[in-house]
Structure 1
Amino acid sequence: MKKTILAVLSLFLVLLMMAPSLAGAHPGRTDANGGHTCRTNCAKWGLKTGEYHYHNGGGSSSKSPSSPTSSSPPPAKKPAPAPKKPEYVKTDVYINGTKQNFQQSAYIKDGTTLVPMRPIFEALGASVQWDNRAKKVTGTKDKRKITLSVGNKKGYITENGVTGSVDLTHPAEITNGATMVPLRFISESLGANVKWDSASKSVKITK
C-alpha cells in the first residue's frame, strides 16, 4: 500500500514539473527550427493568428526566421552624355582682295570664325611674338600692343600707356602650331575692316 502511495506521489510530482512546458505546447507540426505559425485556436494558447512561435520554451515571433528578406537593387546609373563635337567648317580668307594660303586654314568652331593670328597680323603690318612658356602671343603695330593668352576669353590692347580689355566670343587656341583667334578680334585690335561672306563662307579683310 505504501509503495502504491509513493508511486502516485512520484507521478504527481513529475506532472507538476512538466506543467509549464505542456501549457505552452499545442497540436501542430513544427518546422526545422522547432516552431510554426499559429493558424487555429490561437487565443486558446495565448497567441495571435499568424504569430510564429516555438515549442518547448523557444519563444515566439510574428515573422518566420526562414522567410527570406527582400531588398531592392540600387538604381542603375545613367551613362554620362557624350560631349558634343565642335563644328569645323573650312573658311577662305582674303586680305585686300587677295586670297591667302595659310598653313593652317581658318575655320568655324561653335559658331565663331577662328583665323590664324600671325600671318594676318603680319600681312597687315604688325609684328608677332610668341611666348611658349606662358602660352601668350603679342602683336605690335606702331604704338599699339595686342596681347592674347591661349584659353583666355579676354584680349588686351595697350595704347599710349593705357590698357583695355576685349571680350572674345571664343578663347584663343593652338591648332597645328598656329594661334587661332576670333575673326572679330582682328578688326577690334588693328582697326581693319572685316566682312563675312556667308554665301561663300569666306572672310574679307581690308586695311
Structure 2
Amino acid sequence: MIYWKKSVITAASAAVLLAISWTGSSAQASESVVFDSTTVQANGKKFTVQWTTIDLSDPYIRVMPITAEAGIGYVESFAGMIERSDAVAGVNGTFFDAYEQDESKRHPNGLMIESGSFVRSGENVALGIQTDKTAQIHQMQTKLSFKVKHNKNVYTVNPWGVNTYYGDDADQVIAYTSDFAQQIDRAGGMKAVIEAGRITSLTEGAAAAPENGYVIYIGHSPNNDKNLLPNLHEGDQVEIEAYVADGSGSNAVPVAEAWETAIGAGPKLVTNGQADVDFERDGFDDPKITGSANTRSFVGVNGEGRLVMGTVSSATAVDMAQALVELGMVEAMNMDGGSSSALYAEGMMKRSPGRLLSNALIVKRYDDPQVQVVVNGKFVNENRGFIKQDVTMVPFRGIFERIGADFKWDGEERVLTAKRGTTELTLRPDVPDAIVNGRAIKLEQAPVIVDGHLYIPLRFAGETLGAKVSWDQLLYRATLELK
C-alpha cells in the first residue's frame, strides 16, 4: 500500500554534527554498571546492602521502566521481564494492585515515563532521569491535554489519566497508548484515535493503539455524550500537550524535552544527604510501608551523581533511610518493603521477589552507542539514533515529521520517497545510494531498518536538508536546525 503522510510540528532552535565517532569501548561500557555489597550499621543495627551503580553518561546505557508482556494491568515474573528485555540490571518497579483477583486489573499505582512519553500518569515521589542524563528524586505530577481544532473552534480534552484504571465510572475519559495494549476494546464508550496530529478515527469498536499516538476512551455518560463527543470529528487537528510539574503543580515543563525516564513509588528516604522520611507528606499510611521491617528495595543518587538501585536486609523505612545515608546516598526513595523487592545484576538474581510483578525498572546496554536526536528544538524521543562503524545513523521519519515533510513508503518495492520544498529524494534500505533531485549520491552507510524504522546517515541528512549542525559530546546529542 502506498500512502502520503504529512506532519507539521512547530519549530524552535537546535543543532547537529555531520559525522562523529564514539571514543569509548565495550570494556568501558561494562564498567558503567557495577555491582557491590557491604554491611552498614545504622540506628544501632547492622544491615546488608546490595546495590548496582549506573553511569548515566555512558551512551551504551539506557534506564527505563518495563511493564508485563501482556500489557499494563497484568503481571509477569521479574526473571521473565529481565530476560525479555535483555537487561543487564534491574529492580522492581512501582507499587501495583498485587492482591487484585482479576489478573487483568493488577494495575500499577505510580507514574511511569519512558523515552519522553507517559507510560502511566500519576503524582508521586519519583525517580526521574532528565534528557541531560542527570537523575533526581522528588515529587512529580503528569499533565496531559488534547487541543482539538475543528474549523475555527478549539476544544480541550483533559483525560483523567494515561493507561490508568478508574473502575466502571461512565463519565471517565482515559488516554491509552500501545503500552497498555495493542487493541483498546473497552465497551461502553467511544474511542478517538489520535495519530500524527489528527483524529484518524472515531469508533465504538476495538481501536488499534498507534505506535506513537493515543486512543482516548470516552465513556457514554450523559455529560460526555452532550458536552464532549459533539466536539470531536474525524480529521480534526490535535495538539498534544504533555507536561511534568513538581508536587505543587507548578514549574511544568514538556515531558519530551526534559524527561527521558521516570518511575514513581516512595516514600522519600534521603534528601541532600540527610534522612528525610515523612509518610504523611508522601501519602503513605500502610503499616507494611510505615512500620514493618522487611527486605526493602530502593533507588538513589550517590555523591558522584550516579544512579543506584539496590536492596537492604530486614529494615524499616526509617532504618533504610539512615543506612543509605551511611552508604553515601545524596537522594533516595523506597521502592518496596516486602514480597515485591527484587534486584538483578551480574547476570544473576541478587534478590528474587516472592510474587509476579506488574513492572520493573531496568538497565539496558546496547551494542552501539545511542544518540539523542533533536530537530528544530524538538526531541526525537520515540527513536534514538545510534553509531555504526563510526557513522551516526538517525531516524528518517522522526526528522522529516518534525519539519513538515511529505513522505511515502512502498512496502512491496521497499522504496521511501520524500519531498520538502524543492528537495525530492529516494531511499532504499540496504542500498548505499540515494537519489536527490534526480542525482545519485553515495552514502557513508546504507539506510537500515531497525525495529520497523528506517535510519539514514546523519551526514546525508544534514547536507541534503541544508541544516546547521552541531554535536554535544557529553550528552551524545545530535541536533539539527533548519528552516
Shorter-chain TM-score category?
A: 0.5 to 0.7
**In the alignment, what sits opposite 2:399?**
120
What SS class does the counterpart of residue 200 from structure 1 fall into? coil
Structure 2 residue 417 is the aligned partner of structure 1 residue 101: no
Q: CA deviation at 1:194?
A: 2.4
**In the alignment, what sits opposite 1:135?**
414
Q: Deviations over 1:169-204 (max 9, x none)?
A: 110010011000001111122212222222321101
Equivalent residue for 1:149, pick from 428, 437, 447: 428
Q: CA deviation at 1:154?
A: 0.9
Structure 2 residue 469 is the aligned partner of structure 1 residue 189: no
Q: CA deviation at 1:87?
A: 4.9
Larger strand proportion of the pair: 2
Task: Give, in whole Å, the separation in 1 of the partners of 2:413 and 2:384.
Answer: 24
Task: Give, in whole Å, the separation in 1 of the partners of 2:399 and 2:444.
Answer: 19
Structure 2 segments unaligned to the other structure (5+ residues): 1-365
Determine what percentage of the aligned residue pairs are the same residue: 29
Q: Deviations over 1:22-74 (max 9, x none)?
A: xxxxxxxxxxxxxxxxxxxxxxxxxxxxxxxxxxxxxxxxxxxxxxxxxxxxx
1:16-165 equivalences under 5 Å are 87-102=367-382, 104-158=383-437, 163-165=438-440
TM-score normalised according to structure 1 size? 0.53
Task: Give, in whole Å, the separation in 2 of the partners of 1:121 and 1:152.
Answer: 20
Task: Give, in whole Å, the separation in 2 of the partners of 1:189 and 1:195.
Answer: 16
Give the 4+ runs in structure 1 shifted more than 4 A: none
What SS class does the counterpart of residue 169 from structure 1 fall into? coil
Task: Give, in whole Å, the separation in 2 of the partners of 1:89 and 1:97.
Answer: 22
Task: Give, in whole Å, the separation in 2 of the partners of 1:134 and 1:188.
Answer: 26
**In the alignment, what sits opposite 2:446?**
171
Equivalent residue for 1:180, pick from 455, 462, 469: 455
TM-score normalised according to structure 2 size? 0.23
**Contact 1:184–1:194 under 8 Å retained in 2:** no
What SS class does the counterpart of residue 134 from structure 1 fall into? coil
Task: Give, in whole Å, the separation in 2 of the partners of 1:94 and 1:170.
Answer: 21
Q: Deviations over 1:109-139 (max 9, x none)?
A: 1111111101201212211111111211111
Task: Give, in whole Å, the separation in 1 of the partners of 2:398 and 2:376.
Answer: 14
Larger CA deviation: 87-96 vs 170-179? 87-96
From the CA coordinates, give the structure whose radius of gyration is larger. Answer: 1
Q: CA deviation at 1:96?
A: 2.3
Task: Give, in whole Å, the separation in 1 of the partners of 2:480 and 2:453.
Answer: 19
**Contact 1:87–1:109 under 8 Å retained in 2:** no
**In the alignment, what sits opposite 1:198?**
473
User: Which amino acid is 1:98 matched to?
Assistant: K
Task: Give, in whole Å, the separation in 2 of the partners of 1:140 and 1:96.
Answer: 18
**Contact 2:425–2:435 under 8 Å retained in 1:** yes
Larger helix proportion of the pair: 1
**Contact 1:87–1:110 under 8 Å retained in 2:** no
**Contact 1:172–1:180 under 8 Å retained in 2:** yes
**Contact 2:446–2:456 under 8 Å retained in 1:** yes
Task: Give, in whole Å, the separation in 1 of the partners of 2:444 and 2:456.
Answer: 10
Structure 1 segments unaligned to the other structure (5+ residues): 1-85
Q: CA deviation at 1:151?
A: 0.9
**Contact 1:93–1:106 under 8 Å retained in 2:** yes
What SS class does the counterpart of residue 474 from structure 2 fall into? coil
Q: How many residues align?
A: 117
Q: Deviations over 1:130-162 (max 9, x none)?
A: 11112111111123211111111111111xxxx
Task: Give, in whole Å, the separation in 1 of the partners of 2:406 and 2:426.
Answer: 12
Task: Give, in whole Å, the separation in 1 of the partners of 2:403 and 2:377.
Answer: 13
User: Which amino acid is 1:115 matched to?
Assistant: V
Task: Give, in whole Å, the separation in 2 of the partners of 1:205 and 1:95.
Answer: 5
CA RMSD of aligned residues (A): 1.7
